[in-house]
Amino acid sequence: MTKSATRSTGKPRIALYGMGQFGQIMARIAAGKNWPIVAAYNRAGPKIGQDVGLLSGAGRALGVLVQDCETANFDQLEADVGIVTTTNILKQNFPAYSRFMNAGANVICHGTDAYNPYNSDPVVAAAIDKLAKEKGVTFSGSGIWDFSRIWAGILVAGPCTEIFALKHRSQTSLLRAVDEKVLREQQSAFGVGYTVAEFKENGNCDNPIAHSYMGVPQIVLKHLGYTVTESRSHVEPVIFDAPIDCPPLGMIVPPGRTVGSRLVGEVHTKEGVTATMEVEVRLFRDDEIEYMRWEVDGKPQSRIRIEREDTIHSSASCVFNRIPDVIAAPAGIVTITQLGPMKPSALL
């Protein structure tokens, strides 16, 4: 089935699935622009039955109540796009995708697996693509990597007449969340306040979120036309030589204890170009700022550095700003590299 034109003629009608931190920011952005939120879903718990506008802090009731995704009737859903912000894992999110696609809604997922579904889980990706094509809708994934890692890498390589190697470096600040549960999950996943032995015992070296950053150079190289043959990565603890205050956890991390994780990786290609990675997700000293940097060793030599002042809004707004692209895209899985660089929604 080819994709039918969007059914609405005005502002895109949005359905939200997952009403946590990012679902709520998405709701606030939509409410601020008067883009209609037509439905919202979450798993069972205290969010069910709450008005989306009040729950999200949009400043007014929107007259749309959060429904339990297991008992809601999706048959009546009239949405142009369904935004999924439940988990990073494609397989776990599949019920959300299929409910939206069966109702004729395009899907944008904020989970990291969705940036490159076929690489993350080829079996589930094939099922998503099949259903999307049957229903004439698009599936895509976006988030903070869209502009700051993936498109930044593609753009800086654009002028090259020769490429010998690529380097990606970044520093992301940890523990900026306000939710106590999310903070504790981040502390555990990236290893804050541990000895090196505890870091290893806690399984921080195997943290799937840290290793998932390897998807970034794989996507960039693929888009540049290279064939990836091998990827290798490991996660190591980051340690400062001075104590650092960590108010969200009510602790001072002494020197020698871990302040987060560093992913070190390399991706090789059939054509001989290698991309190396160093991604740190850790506590920040007062004078540090989040950045993502790509360096192209080639002709010309080029570097690009993106500094992020507001990571959380950026990640939500990347998804939000992809709505028009995804509605206009062909049916099936369409990656952000196929959609082109994103455009602001400031004037929309």
Ligand X SMILES: NC(=O)c1ccc[n+]([C@@H]2O[C@H](COP(=O)([O-])OP(=O)(O)OC[C@H]3O[C@@H](n4cnc5c(N)ncnc54)[C@H](OP(=O)(O)O)[C@@H]3O)[C@@H](O)[C@H]2O)c1
Which residues lie near ligand X (CB under 6 A)? 18-23, 42-43, 45, 47, 69, 85-88, 110-112, 143-145, 182, 315
- How far, in Å, are 118, 214, 276 from residue 297 at the CA level? 28, 19, 11
CB-wise, 202 or 311, nearer to ligand X? 311
Closest separation in Å from C-beta 100 to ligand X: 12
CB-wise, 253 or 318, nearer to ligand X? 318
Closest separation in Å from C-beta 92 to ligand X: 6
CB-wise, 91 or 303, nearer to ligand X? 91
| Whole-angstrom distance, CA of residue 290 vs CA of residue 336 | 23
Closest separation in Å from C-beta 309 to ligand X: 16
Closest CA to 17 of 113, 128, 94: 94
Closest separation in Å from C-beta 319 to ligand X: 8
Report the residue number whose CB is nearest to ligand X: 20
Q: Is the dihedral of CA 328, 330, 332, 335 positive or negative?
A: negative
Scanning the structure block, which residue is given the tokens 């400031």?
346
| Cβ proximity of 33 and 345 under 8 Å | yes
CB-wise, 43 or 232, nearer to ligand X? 43
Strand ordering across the sheet containing 332-333: 66-68, 37-42, 14-17, 81-84, 106-109, 138-141, 332-333
CB-wise, 140 or 269, nearer to ligand X? 140
Scanning the structure block, which residue is given the tokens 């290609």?
269
